[in-house]
Amino acid sequence: MDTIHSSRTRTSDSTAAGAIPRRSVVRNERLSSSAFGEAYLVWRCHRCGETGDLEAFPVACSNCDAPREDLYYWTED
């Protein structure tokens, strides 16, 4: 398992269940329109509700240490 360490988030390119394909890239994009406003794609923890940037999908929740399988993509205003 390849592990990437940044100043804030511990990440890897695999999951125990194989839920995320290796070398997947999800870019953080902003769509703007006067009719829709703005939204940001982030990750969110199913257990505690913590959210974070998608610079790299974390191995575990930074707040409650829930495993990656409890994290999902979330659109935030």
Q: How confident is the model at residue 76 (pLDDT cuts 50, 70, 90)?
A: confident
**Residues contacting residue 7 through CB under 8 Å, at least 6 positions apart:** none
Mean pLDDT computed over every residue of the chain: 75
pTM exceeds cut of 0.85: no
Helices marked H in the chain: none
Q: The domain containing residue 37 runs over which residues?
A: 3-76
Q: What is the tally of structural domains in the chain?
A: 1
pLDDT at position 65 over 60: yes
Mean pLDDT of 21-36: 64
- 3-class SS shares of the chain: helix, strand, coil, % to 5: 5, 40, 60
Task: Tell me what pLDDT residue 19 has.
Answer: 59
Beta-bridge mates of residue 36: none
Q: With H, G, I as helix, E, B as strand and everything else as coil, classify residue 11.
A: strand
**Residues contacting residue 51 through CB under 8 Å, at least 6 positions apart:** 42, 43, 44, 45, 74, 76
